[in-house]
Amino acid sequence: MKVDTTNYLSLPFILSNKKPRLIIITGKGGVGKTTLAMAITKAYESVGKKVLYNCFDQPLNNSLSRNLNLPHFLLKMEDSAKEYIANKLGSETIAGWILKTPFFSSLFNMLPGLGHMILLGHIINKLEEDPELTIVLDSPSSGHALTMFESPQNFKEMFRSGLIVEDIKRMEDFIFKADQMKVVITALPTEMALQEAQDLELALKQRRVHDITHVVNDLLKICPSLEGSTSDELPDFLNKKISMEEELLKNLDSSWRLIPHYTHDKPSSIIKECSLLLTKEMHDS
């Protein structure tokens, strides 16, 4: 099987001409977002960049993170909210008091968007404090990712004035100012998954997110274990799967980046391999 490697996802491609400070990995559940986010973080680190991984409102995969020695930080919604309010009111006691009322704790529960916005605000603060830092955000899956991007606008309309609105504007400045944020949409090679990735991309563009890279993950067609094998050595179902992939790829323009199917049993090995792929050109040259 002959493989054209020019369309592989690579770190130089992610960075091409721009230096995004916030890289958000999104897509449907189960498409390999965490693998890719961790691989990008490790690739960044390996070329000497200051980078941190964050899993937003999802729990961190501790064993994987330890295994990889992954540079990361964690945020807790309640703590972020408390810090924010304390900052605004100049009193941690009052902030703690407000958030302890059953009313406010249930308000945060009812409205995940409010929590997302506070987390995103916290992340942007961190980036503004340290101009050398890049954050790779393993974001919630598509639906909730849209909530995350839509929340600043929604809450701005709700609050209209006051300190929060000023902060939201500052957040939006960061998000929508060219070259600071990149979104990587990940999909699996099935017709429906690709369609959904395209729908998500459109929805993000409607929300003024423009720097988007789309990726097809888990491709058998370029699987390293199949390199050098001819189609008559492969069983029918694999040939069929590969030809289905080829059919799908034909309909995608050349801006789509590819990631192979890896044959490892350990997730950490797959992440390491993927991180090597991302920096391959840089090591070669």
Cβ of residue 17: shortest distance to other proteins, in angstroms? Answer: 30
Q: Which of 256, 259, 284 is nearest to 270 (CA)?
A: 259
Helix extents (H) in the chain: 11-15, 33-46, 62-68, 77-89, 92-100, 102-110, 112-129, 142-159, 163-176, 191-206, 236-250, 267-284
Cβ of residue 14: shortest distance to other proteins, in angstroms? Answer: 20
Beta bridge partners of residue 22, listed in sequence order: 135, 181
Output 133 or 244, the one with its CB closest to other proteins. 244
Phi, psi (deg, nearest 5) at residue 106: -75, -25
The string of DSSP letters for 97-154 reads: HHHHSHHHHHHHHH-HHHHHHHHHHHHHHHHHH-TT-EEEEEPPPHHHHHHHHHHHHH
Output 181 or 197, the one with its CB closest to other proteins. 197
Answer yes or no: are the C-beta atoms of 165 and 51 closer than 8 Å. Answer: no
Q: Which of 35, 123, 111 is nearest to 74 (CA)?
A: 123
Cβ of residue 248: shortest distance to other proteins, in angstroms? Answer: 11
Cβ of residue 150: shortest distance to other proteins, in angstroms? Answer: 5
Using DSSP's 3-state secondary structure scheme, residue 3 falls into coil
Non-local (6+) Cβ contacts of 148 within 8 A are 56, 113, 116, 117, 120, 139, 140
Cβ of residue 27: shortest distance to other proteins, in angstroms? Answer: 8
Cβ of residue 43: shortest distance to other proteins, in angstroms? Answer: 18
Output 20 or 70, the one with its CB closest to other proteins. 70
Beta bridge partners of residue 138, listed in sequence order: 25
Output 4 or 265, the one with its CB closest to other proteins. 265
Cβ of residue 159: shortest distance to other proteins, in angstroms? Answer: 5
Output 165 or 252, the one with its CB closest to other proteins. 165
Non-local (6+) Cβ contacts of 208 within 8 A are 176
Output 241 or 280, the one with its CB closest to other proteins. 241
Output 66 or 143, the one with its CB closest to other proteins. 143
